[in-house]
Amino acid sequence: MELVEKALAGNRYALARLISLIEDNGTEARAALAALYPHTGQAHVVGVTGAPGTGKSTLVNELTKVLRAQGTTVGIVAVDPSSPFSGGALLGDRVRMRDLAGDRGVFIRSMATRGSLGGLARATSDVVKVLDAAGFSVVLVETVGAGQAEVDIARTAHTTVVVEAPGLGDEVQALKAGLLEIADVLVVNKADRPGAAQTARALEMVINRNAVRGGADDNVWRPPILKTIALDGSGVPEVLEVIVAHREYLRASGSWAERERARVETELRNVLQQELLARLLARVGEEQVQAWVERIAARKVDVYTAVRAVLGTR
Amino acid sequence: MELVEKALAGNRYALARLISLIEDNGTEARAALAALYPHTGQAHVVGVTGAPGTGKSTLVNELTKVLRAQGTTVGIVAVDPSSPFSGGALLGDRVRMRDLAGDRGVFIRSMATRGSLGGLARATSDVVKVLDAAGFSVVLVETVGAGQAEVDIARTAHTTVVVEAPGLGDEVQALKAGLLEIADVLVVNKADRPGAAQTARALEMVINRNAVRGGADDNVWRPPILKTIALDGSGVPEVLEVIVAHREYLRASGSWAERERARVETELRNVLQQELLARLLARVGEEQVQAWVERIAARKVDVYTAVRAVLGTR
């Protein structure tokens, strides 16, 4: 496929077109993904997730600058519609992010579309594959992290960075419980604000509790807690060091392959589901589906009984 | 089914057990849902959604108090794991919410489990059905609203209340773009804080823009913007008035039936997908699935080609 070859050879225009093609998810998209898939598996996929207001976009921006200074190429996938990378947020933020726009070693893609849930997870995963195959060494995936979809997307990364900030209110603090379970690296951003030390201590308590629950295994990764002021870059190189250390840990412990398998299994199930439904709907026909919708809406039958009837009791 | 009969008759213990049964999603759950489904369709389902820190749990609490004072029964489903209703947040908040705990006209259920995405949406929808069938006149569904899953859950409500608060930072403000599309009622909570008027004005600008885009149809609902201080109840009765007015609008315009059909269609597709996958996996067998996962993880085949091979090219 010519478009795939050009994109893999580094043609940015072809890369952008290929990604758009893949987002559309047609027959051509699948052929393209089949062609580029053998070239994947090299990139370190890093999820950066946190509630709105934690400054995670700024952290992604600064991490990218440090990586570029080291000569590492970076792909950025912004799943968050409020991200400056997606054209969300205020103009000032967007201008700040534009530092990276002229750099050929960086490719930024926004997934701000509001499609269906399964659709967003699939498209994100496929766009990561394209950037991986195109040779970007690190792919940063920015997600809001306050919703289950975003947590699921973050879970597919090799390394998940959870960003917190002091003073976002009690509710945000409580969100940590869910996010902490998937965190490999914890960052308290805006560390110059009042309450930063307290936020870090609260995180440490939860980590300690988890560690006790997990037992005293020397081989288990314990999420480090780092403080940053992403706005001026303070602490960002240290975050990168820990991200790299986590990659080494994954490789040495065999967890890298384990995470790959888990990601693949989730993806296989999702694609199977979507394909099965598409084939069924093609067979049953839109008219029949609408007739069932009417019957369920009228409370003549419940959805589970309807599904059994549509599928037959095989 | 005895459990269903008892729950519908108002036995709270049976109701709690029935909901747990339905969350487990087994064969018994489906039988129970089939039995109670004809009793659904009466409740006004109101989604209350907003970013962490907007105070939406407090608003839900206060809305419930006003409804109770009017003699209306209320079911609360908290999808947000950080909600005080879910045992998240700080103790002070949880204590405040406990006002409602002794009231037999209120039933609170937390959906704080971190299951799969489709699972959460399904379970939430089914729990709403149980509360509807059990005769609660209003069912309030509290979601974070920062993630796609939560937005999708909120979309299944008859009326969606989007809660904002001043001073949550640029990123939160930008989130509005996505949330505004599903808002029927807009609330600027914490209206005593600096910036509240500015937040309300910003919302109004977006609403006006949407209204112009939608054309000047007198029959179109235009989301009103209300200010509240949920912590002391200010402005909450007015929010409830607007929620009731929206229900009247839905009934009069025919949109109520339209929303029901859209909800049913989404649900039908989701249940079909899950059932199709379960049947396929039972047929193919876990061993075969794992073999495909290994092949994909080793980059010997891509997921789409694998799915075509598993399903055959029917």
Delineate the domains of chain B, giving CATH numbers in brackets: 1-35 (no CATH), 40-253 (3.40.50.300), 254-314 (no CATH)
- The answer to whether residue B299 scores a pLDDT higher than 90 is yes
Nearest to B52 among A41, A146, A265 (CB): A146
- pLDDT-wise least confident of A138-152, B273-287, B294-308: A138-152
What residues of B are in contact with residue A82 (Cβ under 8 Å)? Answer: 171-172, 174-175, 177-178
- Beta-carbon separation of A289 and B174 below 8 A: no
| Reported confidence tier of residue B229, pLDDT bands at 50, 70, 90 | very high
Residue A110 is predicted with a pLDDT of 82
Average pLDDT over residues B12-24: 90
- CB distance B45 to B126 below 8 Å: no
- Beta-carbon separation of B151 and A114 below 8 A: yes
Q: Which residues between 180 and 199 in chain A have a beta carbon less than 8 angstroms from any beta carbon of chain B?
A: 181
- Beta-carbon separation of B267 and A304 below 8 A: no
Q: How far is B21 from chain A (nearest CA, A)?
A: 15
With a cut of 0.85, is the ipTM above it? no
As a whole number of angstroms, the distance between CA A203 and CA A180 comes to: 8
As a whole number of angstroms, the distance between CA A262 and CA A158 comes to: 11
CB of A41 less than 8 A from some CB of B = yes
CB of B133 less than 8 A from some CB of A = no
For residues B309 and A50, which has the higher predicted lDDT (pLDDT)? B309
Per residue in A260-275, pLDDT (tens digit) is 998 899 889 988 998 9
Helices (H), chain B: 2-8, 12-24, 27-36, 56-69, 91-97, 117-133, 148-155, 170-180, 196-214, 236-253, 255-284, 286-297, 303-311
Please provide the distance, in angstroms rounded to a whole number, between the alpha carbons at the two ends of chain B.
41
- The answer to whether residue B63 scores a pLDDT higher than 60 is yes
Residues written for chain A: 314
Task: Using alpha carbons, list the distances in angstroms from residue B205 to B151, B191, B208, B209, B298.
Answer: 22, 18, 5, 6, 52
Residue A13 is predicted with a pLDDT of 92
Task: Using alpha carbons, list the distances in angstroms from residue A68 to A26, A57, A138, A225.
Answer: 34, 16, 10, 24
- The answer to whether residue B314 scores a pLDDT higher than 50 is no
Residue B95 is predicted with a pLDDT of 55
> What count of CB pairs under 8 Å joins A to B?
236
Nearest to B82 among A151, A174, A294 (CB): A174
Mutation target among B143, B156, B175, B303 for the A interface, most CBs of A within 10 A:
B303
Which structure tokens are listed for A121? 């997870």
- The answer to whether residue B67 scores a pLDDT higher than 60 is yes
Residue B171 is predicted with a pLDDT of 43
- Of B147, B140, B143, which is closest to residue B106 (Cα–Cα)? B140
| Reported confidence tier of residue B172, pLDDT bands at 50, 70, 90 | very low
